[in-house]
DNA sequence: CCACGCGCTGG
DNA sequence: CCAGCGCGTGG
């Protein structure tokens, strides 16, 4: 379980009442922004401190991993320059009956501020450049102490339930966004109904797309299963992000057995161009091992073609659940 | 309430 | 250099 800080001056009301976090994927000029990238490092059960108008006003618990979602319409003019598509995380927020102002407690907090990606300056002032950022455990402990009894019991309850069992509800949001794209394809009268059907079937890794992938890939790269009835054609560049051409491009697919397809589709694993398996640091190792993936020693599954590598790079950058803090 | 500009951080 | 979910100020 980790602790996060979110600046919500512009969207506090919508995000807390709506029960979510939302960020663009990139800055307006197209460059990446670490404070948006952090969205993909959040795990269900993580604790989120909500900061708005110089105060910590709410504490939240993540209920999902980040998934792609349109900008909430309720934002209105707030963040008008943000892109229409971004990352969303379901969060259960609890507004605090007694908000606290961190700037009044810097004598206790300052020593725990990280050198990089800190949510506050040493004088307690916030930073415009920050959206979401991780806070160290000792900083969080101090902050919880400052917030008082309500925060204490809240976070204790979260800690207890975190050790119980799963919270994974993120598939719901993904489906919601894909529905939107699906509807667009189905109502696109510039294509024949055959083309539309092929594109719709490609979403489930079946039909023409699967045939095309099968010309390049003969078996699941992890399990070695080669019977088509047990294989799904999984997109490297996800169906929802791809053009219609890319949705049907055989180089954009891998044949995988269902549980491996799930891990790849949801970003728990990815592959390098040379075939090396990448395991996300947020993945549950024992589950992976039970699904047939050896997480102890490095695995390779065979080199990929140049065209496949381009799609796999997209997967690594946009689907894989990364963790900056677990890299060295 | 909103708009502006001053800061500073990170790429 | 540029861009960013802050902050105080002034209307």
Place A187 in a pLDDT band, splitting at 50, 70 and 90.
Answer: confident
CB A198 within 8 A of CB A92: no
Higher pLDDT: A256 or A163? It is A256
Mean pLDDT of A120-129: 96
Count of all residues that appear for chain A in the document: 328
Q: Is the pLDDT of residue A37 over 70?
A: yes
Q: Is the pLDDT of residue A173 over 50?
A: no
**At a CB cut-off of 8 Å and minimum separation 6, what does A324 contact?**
A34, A37, A38, A41
Residues lining strand C at under 7 Å (Cβ) are A 7-12, 15, 22-24, 27-29, 31, 33, 35, 52-54, 79, 81-82, 103, 125-131
- Cα-Cα-Cα-Cα torsion A310, A316, A318, A324, nearest 10 degrees, comes to -150
Determine the 3-state secondary structure of A21 from DSSP. Answer: strand
Q: What is the largest CA-CA distance in chain A?
A: 67
Strand B closer than 7 Å to the CB of A34? yes
Q: Is the pLDDT of residue A165 over 70?
A: no
Strand C: which positions are within 7 A of a protein CB?
2-8
Mean pLDDT of A208-233: 97
Tally DSSP H helices, then E strands, for chain A.
12, 11
pLDDT tens-place string over residues A83-114: 999 999 999 999 999 999 999 999 999 999 99
C1' of nucleotide B9: residue with nearest CA: A129
Output the pLDDT for position A169.
38
Output the pLDDT for position A325.
45
Q: Which nucleotide is the nearest neighbour of A114, by CA and C1'?
A: B9
Q: Report all structural domains of chain A as residue ranges with CATH numbers, in order of start.
A: 3-169 (3.10.590.10), 191-326 (no CATH)
Higher pLDDT: A161 or A258? It is A258
Mean pLDDT of A151-162: 76
Q: Is the pLDDT of residue A327 over 50?
A: no
The CA distances from residue A135 to A14, A35, A138, A186, A288, in Å, are 23, 12, 8, 44, 28
């Amino acid at each position: 379980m980790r602790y996060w800080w979110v600046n919500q001056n512009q969207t506090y009301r919508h995000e807390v009442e709506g029960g979510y976090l939302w960020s663009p994927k990139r800055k307006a000029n197209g460059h990446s922004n670490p404070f948006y990238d952090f969205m993909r490092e959040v795990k269900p059960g993580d604790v989120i401190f909500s900061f708005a108008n110089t105060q910590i006003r709410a504490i939240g618990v993540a209920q999902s991993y980040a998934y792609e979602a349109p900008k909430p319409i309720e934002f209105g003019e707030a963040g008008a320059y943000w892109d229409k598509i971004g990352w969303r995380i379901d969060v259960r927020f609890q507004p605090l009956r007694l908000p606290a102002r961190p700037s009044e407690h810097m004598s206790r907090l300052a020593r725990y501020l990280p050198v990089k990606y800190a949510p506050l300056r040493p004088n307690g002032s916030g930073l415009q450049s920050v959206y979401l950022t991780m806070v160290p455990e000792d900083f969080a402990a101090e902050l919880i102490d400052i917030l008082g009894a309500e925060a204490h019991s809240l976070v204790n309850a979260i800690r207890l339930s975190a050790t119980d069992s799963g919270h994974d509800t993120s598939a719901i949001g993904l489906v919601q966004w894909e529905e939107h794209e699906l509807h667009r394809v189905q109502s696109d009268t510039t294509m024949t109904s055959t083309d539309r059907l092929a594109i719709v079937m490609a979403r489930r890794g079946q039909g023409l797309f699967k045939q095309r992938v099968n010309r390049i890939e003969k078996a699941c790269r992890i399990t070695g299963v080669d019977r088509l009835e047990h294989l799904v054609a999984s997109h490297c560049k996800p169906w929802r992000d791809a053009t219609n051409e890319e949705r049907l491009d055989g180089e954009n697919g891998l044949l995988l057995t269902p549980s491996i397809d799930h891990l790849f589709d949801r970003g728990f694993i990815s592959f390098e161009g040379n075939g090396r398996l990448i395991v996300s640091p947020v993945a549950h190792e024992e589950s992976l091992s039970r699904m047939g993936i050896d997480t102890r020693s490095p695995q390779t599954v065979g080199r990929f073609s140049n065209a496949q590598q381009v799609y796999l790079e997209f997967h690594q950058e946009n689907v894989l659940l990364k963790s900056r803090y677990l890299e060295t």
